[in-house]
Structure 1
Amino acid sequence: MAGEETVVPQAAQHLAERGASAAAVAVVLNEAHKNAIEQKLVECANMAREKVLREQMGGRSPTPEECREKKEFGGRIRTRAMFLGEEMHRVALECAELELGALRPGGFSREPRYRYNKQTRQRELISPEKEAALQEEGCYSELRGTIKPDIVIHSGDPLMPLAAYDYKFPCVGSDSADWCRYTQGPHAGRWQNDVYQEVLGVRPLKIRPWLGVTP
């Protein structure tokens, strides 16, 4: 699932630091700028849900039974809920990268992957190229315990986060789409947002269509 610790082969992730030097990016995030960023992220969430439901469901929301249906979706066996969620994530992140590229060039990253050393309290950024190489070589253990938030706002250096956001797309409109709880690996039993906060040093926020930004 997007934004979680699961490690599956996928296209190399994009870091959006191009277009401006770190020195040109605000080190602090004032309230007005933060609100503008969050407005764009919410708009992208709303657009993504509408677009995917229009393409996959004729514009209507799926029923709970349809969400649970498991068969081949998008070339893989999975539930409809997983398929729709992944498609909405993809569309929303493409939108967010374009919008934030104009609003905050050089000051955000899309789906960065971090490793954290609890003893030294140091975070390390794993490049998209290194991540792709590890996955291609089958070295998934090298990525155990890492985190991959959807959007990180930073000072121009991804290792200096200022804010973090994860898209959550409920299959049924009334679903809460809350933070996930890890069931295995180094973070087993812990909530996703607590792990994100420990690693990034900032409290992550959820972006949900129509509901906006929530803790």
Structure 2
Amino acid sequence: MAILNRPSALNAITASMAARLNRLYESWEENSTIGFVMMKGGGEWPFCSGTDVVALYRMLNEGKTEECKALFQSLYKFVYVMGTYLKPHVAIMDGIVMGGGAGISLPGMFRVVSDRTVFSTPEVQIGFHPDAGASYYLSRLPGYLGEYLALTGEKLNGVEMMACGLATHYSLKESNPCYQTTFEIWQCLQVQL
């Protein structure tokens, strides 16, 4: 199981996190004893707020453009790994699922949201385009919802994510035993299939 464990920074993705996720997922995919892979956010609430834009801002101000490039290269490589992953992948998207956080979770086979899930593409609010696979998953939403979300950065909750197809499973965080262990999560997903 991969746990994005930077809760004080809303589990924002750094270059080292993305590089480590790449290594872990590639090794897990090659390991025949692993039947499925799961990802969740560390801490009480956030899944992942996306790329660490605070760190990017600092690096740019310090002239560290190569480090900025490395962050995006690692993140985009991991988004590609997720989009082509061969094993079943479970993303427990409890809490904030924004920007790159959506990019690393939405390619998964099982996308579990809760009553506390908040999805958005907030990068558009700072003049950046929706990235990390957003052009793929937003373009497949019903009607013009994808275009609307890409242009406005509007938020969706867990129920809305289920309704438009961004999520495959919904759970109330407090009342669901599926949040206990990896094995219990897998059992619950098998029952719901």
Q: Would you call these one fold, judging by a TM-score over 0.5?
A: no
TM-score, normalised via structure 1 length: 0.27
Greater relative contact order, per chain length (Cα 8 Å cut-off, separation 6+) = 1
